[in-house]
Amino acid sequence: MIPILRRIALYKQGLISTAPYGSGKLGTLKAIEHLGYVQIDTLSVVERAHHHILYNRVSNYQTDHLNQLVRDKRIFEHWYHAAAYLPMKDYRFALPYMQSIRDGTRPYHKNISSTLMHEILARFHAEGPLSVRNFDQSKKVKGSWWNYAPAKQAIESLFMQGDLMVCSRNGMEKIYDLTERCLPNDINTTVPSVYEYAKYLFDTSLRAHGVVSWKQLVHLKTGKTLRNIMLELIDEHLENDVIAEVKMKDGTKLYVDKSMLNLTCRVQKKVTILSPFDNVLIHRERMKRLFSFDYKIECYVPAARREYGYFSLPILFADDFVARVDCKAHRKTGHFEVISLHLEPWPRPSKRHTLDEFYPALKTALQQFAIFNQCHKLNTNGLVPS
């Protein structure tokens, strides 16, 4: 059963098909709408997570496609389990989170001056889109309301509670504007009921992953009512033959999209180098159960305790996670460095893949990834056989 579950999970994530969402800007939109979100990350050891995730799924992906789609009002920035790009059609499902920031149920910045927030909103009304830097007058006016740190916190709070939206980015710098100017005219802004929100979480997870766990469905979600409704949705979908329950050896239950159980698709023997924040990886326990791949990003781990490197990237070969590689893009000099490479035990359980097949595929993937990272020279430090 495990092999078919793996294939379903990878197929639903768009990782074993060629350009499953198409290409260019439209393909980028389709990918985000299917996945439900793409996580934003500021780390730039290699190309940032939001670009890296889409590079692996969209043919001819360009890093400006996200900005274009934000300007077109087709996607927006807010919070999923972390900062993310979300489909604009799902905007109303971000409203409960915004409300929890506004009413203080979910702590954010504390003791923000309401006067400061009103004055900041007045500036946006009068001047249009602004960045935090536009409020940094601390060197010009002592004691000004526009002192950088309080203004930054106030703007972030106004964004999190839904008064401001990011209307574009200049690199990683956010340009904000009033929410009313950033939303499409026909957008649904009614706050979903708890049932509607739970159904959105269930539908999004099943559509994007095909195989889901209980922990995945309620990841970082609290509230007895929501959890009870999620249990009811699981029972309802089991009764209607929409999903099937699979019990793992450790007793954990997984729920699989029943329509996918007869999935037949040709899996290419290609290597995909994944972001640590890729959607397929984010639920680590599920990854461990499905793929026997125990992954943890180590950039937040003290150097002395790192096993695989500061920013090791998981490596998918065909339909199996087989290795991890620690890389760095030296953009000023244009070379891409492989710092370390760690293989999972070989032969793999499937016994379908050999190292003689893997290494050439890995080198091709690294060369392509280096180009994506604006690097023209690949330095494998002898870790990848020629």
Supply the DSSP symbol for 169: E
Query: Tell me, what's the pLDDT at 148?
Result: 63
| pLDDT tens string 217-262 | 999 898 899 999 999 999 999 999 999 999 998 889 999 999 999 9
- Cα distance between residue 286 and residue 280, in whole Å: 9
Backbone angles phi, psi at 148, to 5 degrees: -55, -55
Longest dimension (CA), the chain: 69
Segment 233-245, tens digit of pLDDT: 999 999 999 999 9
CA distances from 231 to 199, 218, 235, 248 (A): 11, 10, 6, 19
Residues 6+ apart with CB under 8 A from 284: 294, 295, 296
Which of 153, 135, 156 shows the shortest CA–CA distance to 145?
135
d(CA 329, CA 378): 9
* pLDDT digit string, tens, across residues 121-178: 999 999 999 999 998 765 554 544 445 688 999 999 999 999 999 999 999 999 999 9
Across the chain, how many H-helices and E-strands are there? 13, 13
Crossing angle for the helix pair 95-102 and 148-160, to the nearest 10 degrees: 140
pLDDT (average), residues 341-358: 86
Strand partners, 312: 326
User: What is the model's pLDDT at position 145?
Assistant: 42
Say whether pLDDT at 350 is over 80.
no
How many residues comprise the chain? 386
How high is the mean pLDDT of the chain?
A: 93
pLDDT digits (tens, 9 = 90+) for 18-69: 889 999 999 999 999 999 999 999 999 999 999 999 999 999 999 999 999 9
Which pLDDT value is given to residue 47? Answer: 97
What gap in Å lies between CA 30 and CA 272, rounded to an integer?
A: 20
Q: Walk me through the domains of the chain, giving residue ranges and CATH numbers.
A: 2-10+190-260 (1.10.10.10), 108-183 (1.10.10.10), 271-379 (no CATH)
For residue 159, the Cα-to-chain-centroid distance in whole angstroms is 19
- Residue pointed to by tokens 């409960």: 96
Say which residue, 219 or 109, is predicted with more confidence: 219
pLDDT at residue 138 in the model: 53
Q: Token match 């984010």: residue?
A: 282
The whole model's pTM is what?
Answer: 0.94
Pairing between strand 211-213 and 243-247? unpaired
Per-residue pLDDT, averaged over 75-84, amounts to: 96
